[in-house]
Chain A
């Protein structure tokens, strides 16, 4: 979405090109990606391009800034519970659910930026799903604005929304939903943002069953298993989409402490409880209200 006179085709090309590059560098489901090579390396140093290094940096920052609530070393935990291929290809399974215990932690990722290489501790597998898409949205918004000459740009990648440049008067209107597949003219709360990004994490999407157990994709690093907590969906606005997504996923993992953690950081947030109760915090419109 662009504002003002702009070369929309150029904006689209810029976004698509960036997404192709991110996919090739960071996808866990492509055998030819740099990340897959790293996960297969068995503790050896592996060459990494600038984009993978940036994505790993972002993932490590996310882990550190959230107190370890959102950690990139959940790759193996996700794989063993069945999220081992593109989500669209996952079928219900009768295989037993295997749980590994706490994930190794971001300290198991060693970056050598100068030499352009990465090493994981043996047995560690990285998943960048909790940060790479948001990072891509931030980068895509900037790239689209540069390529198109637009005054302002909004990029939405599967629920991760990033804006760049000047917002329209009043701000960019964004529909808040539990599933990004809800159309923009669907029912729901609308908020206006003028900078940064807004992102939502939810246990309501990307669910699958294994041995009759319903699973989802948000792993609690402390247990190595899908989060079980009071919140099913968290939406956060922040200075970038990466930061918004980090905080939203952290809120799901932090559970009872999430609202206070968000409020301490003045992060506007909307939390939906397992019972449908909505809590707003950190300056989100209607903060202090609780509604059902």
Chain B
């Protein structure tokens, strides 16, 4: 690929600097010193979006160094966020995830009314029962390779 074609493909070459002085001007002399011998072009191929993060990359071509800004998508939060479940323990982890029939590694138990519980004879206001605590179906933790 020609030098010009590479520029066009990657789209956002922002500066062309000679070795040394230019890099130093951008405070990148340390970076260049560390990586000039290994710097290589990396194309992300995506057009920058409004929330993309600019990242400085360095490309060495012949006797010139190109300092360019590439845009990569930022790490995105989950659309649905994270909600609290109850703190689990062996004695409190029973319950169900409403509306789900789960099949897989760990079985989720379904809570049921205690045996022998008497039905209420007369409708009376009662405190709202706390929502059932869903039983975890997976653990996230530091990874230990499967042995």
Contact = CB atoms under 8 A, between A and B. Distances in A.
B90 interface: yes
The number of chain B residues touching the other chain, given as a range, is 35 or more
The number of chain A residues touching the other chain, given as a range, is 35 or more
Contact of B78 (A5, A182, A237): A237
A202 B144 CA distance: 10
A8 B105 CA distance: 11
A240 B133 CA distance: 25
Nearest to A144: B104
B122 interface: no
Contacts of A197: 78
A240 to B, nearest CB: 8
Given A1-B105, A64-B55, A168-B97, A193 B40 contact: no
Given A2-B102, A171-B80, A198 B140 contact: yes
A195 B138 contact: no
Contact of A168 (B70, B81, B99, B138): B99
B115 interface: no
Contact of B77 (A110, A154, A238, A246): A238
Interface of B is mostly: loop
B40 A107 contact: yes
Interface in B53-87: 53, 55, 57-58, 70, 72-87
Contact of A1 (B39, B86, B137): B137
Nearest to B100: A168
Contacts of B78: 193-197, 237-239, 268
A159 B45 CA distance: 31
A200 to B, nearest CB: 5
Contacts of A109: 40, 42
Contacts of B139: 156, 159, 174-177, 180-184, 186
Contact of A175 (B39, B45, B136): B136
Contacts of A105: 34-35, 38
B39 A107 contact: yes
Q: Max chain A CB contacts within 10 Å: which of B43, B131, B141, B142? A: B142
B129 interface: no
A211 interface: no
A282 to B, nearest CB: 7
Given A105-B38, A180-B143, A205-B143, A239 B138 contact: no
Given A3-B100, A64-B70, A265 B140 contact: no
Interface stretch (A30-38, A74-82, A283-291): A283-291
A108 B103 contact: no
Interface string A162-205: 00000111111111111111111111111111111111111111
Nearest to A11: B104
B121 interface: no
B145 A190 contact: no
Interface string A60-100: 11001111000000000000000000111000000000000
Given A107-B35, A173-B136, A184-B138, A285 B82 contact: yes
A133 B81 CA distance: 22
23 contacts: A1-B106, A4-B101, A104-B35, A106-B42, A110-B41, A170-B131, A172-B97, A173-B85, A175-B136, A176-B139, A177-B141, A179-B142, A181-B139, A185-B88, A185-B136, A187-B87, A189-B87, A195-B79, A206-B145, A235-B140, A237-B81, A283-B81, A285-B84
